[in-house]
Every structure is written in structure tokens, then in C-alpha cells.
Amino acid sequence: MKTSNLFLQSKLKKLLPLIFCLIFVWQLSAQESWQASRETVEKLSKNQTEFNYYEEKVPAYTLPDALTTIKGQKIRSKKEWEKLRRPELLELFTTQVYGRVPNTPYKTEFKIIKEDPNAMNGAATLKLVDIIISANTKSLTIHLGLFIPNKVSKPVPAFLLVCNRPPAENIDFTREKKSEFWPAEEVIARGYAVAAFYNGDVDPDKHDDFQNGIHALLDTNRNSESWGTLAAWAWGASRCMDYLVSDKAIAADKVAVIGHSRGGKTALWAGATDERFAMICSNEAGCGGTSLARRKYGETIDRINKAFPHWFCANYKNYSNRENEMPFDMHELMALIAPRALYVAAASEDLWADPKGQYLALYHSLPVYQLYTKNTRLPQDMPALNTPVRNGQVAYHVRDGAHNLTLKDWNFYMNHADRVLKKGTKRGIR
């Protein structure tokens, strides 16, 4: 009898994590799931008649299986994923969506332009770093601003923002102008370093036939697979990462990259191509980033290619109005982040970016995360408004309001980072 009880206790102990996980998912499912307001849907549909905002008009679709190779082989282990399927998907997104970085040799130099140990009234140390990229006779400078908390043991985890808005108003390193888009003081108060760079330093956000920015330095013979501007910005994020990993005050294995809208697409691709980023926060990235293209809800591939022809490689235009012919969809882009932390977010009024399509993309990336952590699960239905859903390394929220990156979003991101980045980080007052 005693042996039988011990056996049952042993079995129950093994099942407890699964039981708790199922209870967690059930509790979240029991909450009211977010739905787009009918008023917003009808208003947008009236003003943009060529785009769909009605959930009932989303076409039937079948997503490619993230765990089945092009040749039909089923992936059953993380070893097979890393050896076979991940490289295959990475190549697909490189050649069909974002484009390939040229192999032109270049040199990188870091120059500390300014260092202020008493920034933010003594709460932080400010470093202004010029990242100088040189190739042949040309050069380009990325201006990186970095605040490091003074009263926290080093090294510290960090957030790197890809800023796609005017820098003077949004990432003012003097802190004379403050913006929720980059709430540096609040991030410092939470014990994180916080850095930012302006995407325009790397490549201008305009269709200039790739004659300026980093393209002018590195491009040689362009073709249908050549990198677009989003890939250039992601490359710039990696050059900022080059500096961050060299700074002894930064925990090199605990850096999060964050971006909003086109910056959110950039953050995703930076995370997919540079596995040094430990956490990726993609805020309202929408079409060409976090939302499932096959849903054809809000912005579409055809529209984004016409409005921003410089963002992607030329091959992406092949899928305008032909989404079902893509051998991939954006859940597989998210899967490329696994097993690292991934946080996807949307806004209730930002139907252009398809909040539900973003959640579904994250949900359908989970089989890859489960290769690493079996019990990684999310409810099939979306969470309630302003109610983040988190499990393991993945998280999602839909915030009330319009298309923006706000302090509320940042706090949700930092709450998740507290779980996944601060594990094992020594904290304390110096």
C-alpha cells in the first residue's frame, strides 16, 4: 500500500505543471475575449471601402505548418528544428520578404562622444555613442543614446528601441523633451538600461532607389532578393547590439529589442536574424510583420508594397493579392524567435494592423516554442482588453486606444522582462 501511494505521489508530482498550465489557460479563456467594436469597424469600412474590417468576411485559409519542411518532413525535436526547418524558414523570409544583406566588407568603430554619470538627477549614466560604419571611401554614423541605471548592480538587462519617429521629439537624449514613446526615466526606475537609435541614421524612410544610407555603402548589384529598408534598419539594430555587448555595464545576454509599427517589423526581423537579442517586443507591427497575411484584414500585402515599395525585397511583390500562394506566413517569422522571449502587442482602435491576426500568428507559433518548453500554451481566444496573457517566453496584449507606443505598453513589456530577463541577474544597491 505504501509503495502504491508513493507511486501515485510521484505521478501527481510530474503532472502538476501540466495541471497548473491548463488551469491558467482555462482562467484566461473564461475572461471576456476582446473584439473590435462595431462602431470602429463600420467607421473604417465606410472610409476605406477597398479594405476588409469585418471578421465574418475574412476568407477561409490554411496556414503552412511551421513544423513541416518544404519537402514534407515532420519536425519532432528542437535539434531537427535548428538543423532543418529554422534555416529553411530564415532563407524563405530572407529571399521572399525582407531581402539579403550584401556581403560587402565594412569596418565598425565606436566613439564615446559624451559620458555623463549624473544624468536624470543622478539616477543614470548617459553615454552617447557614435557607431561609424566604413566601406571603401564612404562612411555612415549611427547615433546611439544609452542610459544605464546607477543604483543597480551591474551588468544590467537593457531595452534597445528602434525609433521610427522624429528623434528630437521622441528620443531626446538631453531629456528636455520627454515622450511615452521612449519613457527612459521609467525604464531606468525599473532597473533596466535603455538605449535608442533613429532608423533614419541607417537608411532614409523613402523610396530613393536605394541610393542613400547604408545601401550607398554596401550595395553592389541589386536583384530581386536584395535587402529593403526594413532589413537595413534591422541590420542597424545589430550594429547597436555590437556596442551593447562590448559595454561591461550591460548584460550581453539580456538585451531586448523593441519597435513600433514599421519599427515593430524591424524588431521582429532583427530578432530572427540576430540571436543575441534575448527578447523581442513588436508593437502593432501589422502587415508584413506580426499579422497573418492570409486573413486579408486591414492592410494587405498589395497595399503595403504600393505604399512602401522600399521596405521589402522585390520578391515580396509576387504575393500581392496572392497571399495563399506564400509558402510561409507570419506565425513562422515569430517561430524563428524561439526559444527566446517574444512579446506581441496590438491596440483596440488599430484595426489596420489586425489585432486578432497578430494574436493568431503568435498562437500558431507555439508548436515551435513547445519543442523547447512543452507546456507553453495560450488560450485560442484573444485575451480581454488591457489584460496581458503570458506563458513561458511568449506574451501578448491588446491595449485600449490608437496606433501608438505608450507607457502602458512599456510597463506591460517590462513586467514580462522582469520574468524572463531578470532571472539570474544579480540585483542590488551599489
d(CA 105, CA 101): 11
DSSP label of 68: B
Nearest to 131, CA basis, from 140, 121, 119: 140
Q: Scanning the structure block, which residue is given the C-alpha cell 517589423?
A: 265
Query: By the 8 A CB rule, do 387 and 380 touch?
Result: no
d(CA 339, CA 223): 33
Q: How would you label 394-428 residue by residue, b for 16+ Cβ within 10 Å and e otherwise? A: bbbbbbeeebbbbebbbebbbebbeebbbeebeee
Query: By the 8 A CB rule, do 313 and 95 touch?
Result: yes
Per the annotation, the verdict on 403 as an active-site residue is: yes
Quick one: cell of 320?
Answer: 500581392
d(CA 249, CA 131): 18
Cα separations in angstroms, 358 against 264, 337, 382, 398? 12, 15, 10, 10
d(CA 287, CA 297): 9
Give the H or E element holding residue 426. none
How wide is the angle at C-alpha 98 spanned by C-alphas 96 and 99, nearest 5°?
A: 75
Query: By the 8 A CB rule, do 76 and 247 touch?
Result: no
- Cα-only R_g, the chain: 22
DSSP string, 273-321: H-TT-SEEEEES--TTTTS-GGG--SS-HHHHHHH-TTSS-GGGGGGTT
d(CA 348, CA 399): 6
**Which residue among 45, 143, 320, 403 is the active-site one?**
403
**Which residue among 226, 261, 348, 365 is the active-site one?**
261
Per the annotation, the verdict on 226 as an active-site residue is: no
Could you give the residue numbers annotated as active site?
261, 403
